[in-house]
Amino acid sequence: MSFADAVSAAAARLAGIAVTTPLQLNDRLSAATGANVWLKREDLQVGRSYKLRGAYNLLSGLDAADRAAGAVCASAGNHGQGMAYACRELGIRGRVHVPATTPRQKRERILALGGGAVELVVAGDTYDEAAAAAAEHAARTGATVVPAFDDERTIAGQGTIGVEILDQLGRTPDVVMLPVGGGGLLAGVGSWLADRYPDVRIVGVEPAGAAGMAAAFAAGGPVALPELDTFVDGAAVRRVGDTTYPLVRDCGAELVTVDEGRVCTEMLDLYQTDGIIAEPAGALATAALDGAVAIRPGETVVCLLSGGNNDVSRYAEIVERSLVHRGLKHYFLVEFPQEPGALRRFLDEVLGPDDDIVLFEYVKRDNREMGAALVGVEISSREGYEPLWKRMEASPLTIQLVAPGTTAYRFLV
């Protein structure tokens, strides 16, 4: 059986279990690109992400002895929810190991979707520690480990999204765009499309701070990223899979990266304009339409919105990152003389009429004559930054930009 055949078999296996999620034409993105942009809404899947597909496909293929031994996985949230539901549907005892950083909301959803079939274990402070605990449990009990991405059965399950897209669209799309973390989704959908519809352009979209598949392409195989930005948590994987990498390589997918700030801007646009709550990884594919991928007018483009498990407490950070990305918010260290009227002169002579101070905090009083303040300034348009900086340079004050990417900046955002 070819891998594409395994994907088709998984689609039959998932019938009646996974929701056939909507494929919706998006007016905002279509107008912005001149193309016909469709969203595959896996944020409306059971567990609010596509992860159920791979977990169920793997578990449904176990024999009686393996089912009796149970299943175990490590997860930061979405994969655990998918496995929990699969265990409940198949009558398999499951165990989900999560790190202590996993939000309570996701822990509660794992237990709710498991319906009493799943035990939740908080193990360590990181995903790697949770994964080690899950592996130890499997070695001790004989339980089947259910990988989030690096297993052909998981990959085939994720690939069923491609089957649905073609059935729903009724014609061959020109471009299919998919988020990339460990590579399971891209490997599954990409391999099936490459086999059945080789003219479709397949694009994998990675967060700029966690571009593990691009690193694997450059190195000729999976490598561990030396640094990892975990903001796009659903796609922040330090090392892509040994199984996923060759499948992605051989399906002819092209890879692009998107800055995390751009992802935040797209999350806000999805919410405010389209009424869609997307998690950061869910907004990756559509975020790439803003310049990262060349799209021709009139093309039919399908973007996978992979998940909607976004913690509401993160929105303050999302707004912050979006403002910085759009060039509307900047931070400065300003040396103020300790004399009456110094702040007033800064307001009158440096700030423009539409500039707004959104943060003002004395960092340290250096001496009796001078004192440093951290100042956050929000401007009304990107074009307003250059005039603001020129006024700062002309000022007698000593002013230093706290630039994105610097060590000091990471304490702010």
**Percent residues over pLDDT 70 in the chain:** 98
Per-residue pLDDT of 20-59, as tens digits, reads: 999 999 999 999 999 999 999 999 999 999 999 999 999 9
Q: Is 60 a catalytic residue?
A: no
Evaluated on CA atoms 66, 67, 69, 73, the torsion sign reads: positive
Catalytic residue among 106, 306, 322, 329: 306
Which residue among 124, 145, 166 closes a domain? 145
Residues 91 and 79 grouped into a single domain:
yes
- According to the model, what pLDDT value does residue 413 have? 64
pLDDT over threshold 60, residue 366: no
pLDDT at 129: 87
Q: For this structure, is 49 an active site residue?
A: no
With 60 as the cut, is the pLDDT of residue 378 above it?
Answer: yes
Average pLDDT value over all residues in the chain: 93
HEC letters along 246-305: HHHHHCCCEEEEECHHHHHHHHHHHHHCCCCCCCCHHHHHHHCCCCCCCCCCCCEEEEEE
Query: What is the residue range of 397's domain?
Result: 327-410
Query: pLDDT (tens digit, 9 = 90+) per residue, 223-274?
Result: 999 998 888 988 988 999 999 999 999 999 999 999 999 999 999 999 999 9
Residue 2 backbone class (left: φ over 0; alpha: ψ -120 to 50; beta: rest): beta
Q: Is the same domain home to 185 and 300?
A: yes
Q: What is residue 364's predicted lDDT score, i.e. its pLDDT?
A: 60
Indicate which CATH number applies to the domain containing 191: 3.40.50.1100
Report, as an integer, the average pLDDT of 309-318. Answer: 86
219 or 373, greater pLDDT: 219
- Band (pLDDT 50/70/90 cuts) for residue 367 is low
The one catalytic residue in 51, 60, 75, 329 is 51
- Final residue of a structural domain among 145, 170, 185: 145
Last residue of a domain, one of 126, 145, 164: 145
Percent of the chain's residues with pLDDT above 90? 77
Does 64 lie in the same domain as 14? no
Same domain, 138 and 211: no
